[in-house]
């Protein structure tokens, strides 16, 4: 797990709990009916917005956003250059034995098609289609979390309005107006917490993870196509390093100079 998400999650909730406990009575922020209204309606409305199959995958999506570890693009480029060196030295057919040691099935797919003599346009089309499907799945996951973040505050506001209507229709006891108003406002608070302390941050993180994985697979596609076309390993490296941030390119150049 990325320590950043642990720090962000714990920091957010520690500060929130500090604010709630600072009131002196934490129980004033707990109302069962308000929780059921906000969480229940938010949970059910996403079935309006998405097919059930997509909603069922929400737990997997959250796990991916939290526990996914971004692979090193620098290491990937080194590997692709080494495959290019093998193909250049021993012929592209020699890469078939190399695929047994490659863990990433996407790399294996690309290299295997190149070894089999598949048409370059078909190789690129197959790999690109796979990449686009991956991006679509990630977009659905991000949209699910954003939908929760969009509707939770709205249902919180609805709960507040319901509470206000009940309170205003019972004005016989002035002493009950203050507590009634407080309970009515709790649903708005719950909705805001769900959106801004859970779902929207997770959606943003999933979007960042998706961009990283798309970049990673784009490098693989470009590397496989360069190997298939018989490019010099140095050219392969130069092509792929353009996908690195300038700071990482400079660091690699310094490491090579030092070596």
Q: Tens-of-pLDDT digits for all 259 residues of the chain? A: 566 777 788 888 888 888 888 877 788 888 888 889 899 999 999 998 899 888 888 888 778 777 777 778 889 999 999 999 999 999 999 998 888 889 899 999 999 999 999 999 999 999 999 999 989 988 998 999 999 999 999 999 998 888 888 777 777 767 667 667 777 888 999 999 999 999 999 999 899 888 989 999 999 999 999 999 999 999 999 999 998 887 766 555 555 544 4
Do residues 68 and 166 touch, judged by C-beta distance below 8 A? no
Q: Tell me: do 22 and 36 sit in the same domain.
A: no
Q: Tell me: do 22 and 136 sit in the same domain.
A: no
198 lies in some domain = yes
Q: Tell me: do 132 and 13 sit in the same domain.
A: no
pLDDT at 259: 47
236 lies in some domain = yes
Number of domains in the chain: 2
- The angle at the Cα of 202, spanning 200 to 206, to the nearest 5 degrees, equals 115
138 lies in some domain = yes
pLDDT at 176: 65
Q: Tell me: do 172 and 210 sit in the same domain.
A: yes
Q: Tell me: do 23 and 35 sit in the same domain.
A: no
Cα–Cα distance for residue pair 129/67, rounded to 1 Å: 26
pLDDT at 221: 96
pTM over 0.85: no
**DSSP type of residue 50:** S
pLDDT at 250: 55
150 lies in some domain = yes
Q: Tell me: do 22 and 65 sit in the same domain.
A: no
Tokens of residue 220, six digits: 């693989």
Cα–Cα distance for residue pair 76/57, rounded to 1 Å: 29
Q: Tell me: do 14 and 42 sit in the same domain.
A: no
160 lies in some domain = yes
94 lies in some domain = no
Q: Tell me: do 164 and 40 sit in the same domain.
A: yes
pLDDT at 1: 58
Q: Tell me: do 18 and 58 sit in the same domain.
A: no
Q: Tell me: do 128 and 183 sit in the same domain.
A: yes
Residue 11 lies in domain: 1-27
pLDDT at 249: 65
Q: Tell me: do 22 and 61 sit in the same domain.
A: no
């Amino acid at each position: 797990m990325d320590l950043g998400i642990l720090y962000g999650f714990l920091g957010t909730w520690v500060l929130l709990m500090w604010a709630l406990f600072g009131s002196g009575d934490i129980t004033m922020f707990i109302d069962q009916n308000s929780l059921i209204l906000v969480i229940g309606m938010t949970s059910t409305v996403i079935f309006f917005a998405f097919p059930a199959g997509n909603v069922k995958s929400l737990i997997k999506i959250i796990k991916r956003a939290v526990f996914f570890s971004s692979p090193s693009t620098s290491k990937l480029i080194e590997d692709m250059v080494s495959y290019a060196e093998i193909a250049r030295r021993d012929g592209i057919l020699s890469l078939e034995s190399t695929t047994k040691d490659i863990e990433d099935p996407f790399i294996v797919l690309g290299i295997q098609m190149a070894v089999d003599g598949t048409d370059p346009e078909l190789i690129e089309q197959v790999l690109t289609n796979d990449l686009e499907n991956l991006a679509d799945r990630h977009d659905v996951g991000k949209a699910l979390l954003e939908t929760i973040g969009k509707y939770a505050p709205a249902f919180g506001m609805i709960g507040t309005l319901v509470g206000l209507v009940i309170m205003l229709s019972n004005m016989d006891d002035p002493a009950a107006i203050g507590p009634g108003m407080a309970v009515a406002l709790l649903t708005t608070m719950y909705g805001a917490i769900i959106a801004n302390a859970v779902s929207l941050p997770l959606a943003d993180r999933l979007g960042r993870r998706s961009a990283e994985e798309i970049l990673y697979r784009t490098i693989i596609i470009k590397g496989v196509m360069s190997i298939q076309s018989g490019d010099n390993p140095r050219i392969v490296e130069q092509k792929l390093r353009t996908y690195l941030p300038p700071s990482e390119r400079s660091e690699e150049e310094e490491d090579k100079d030092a070596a």
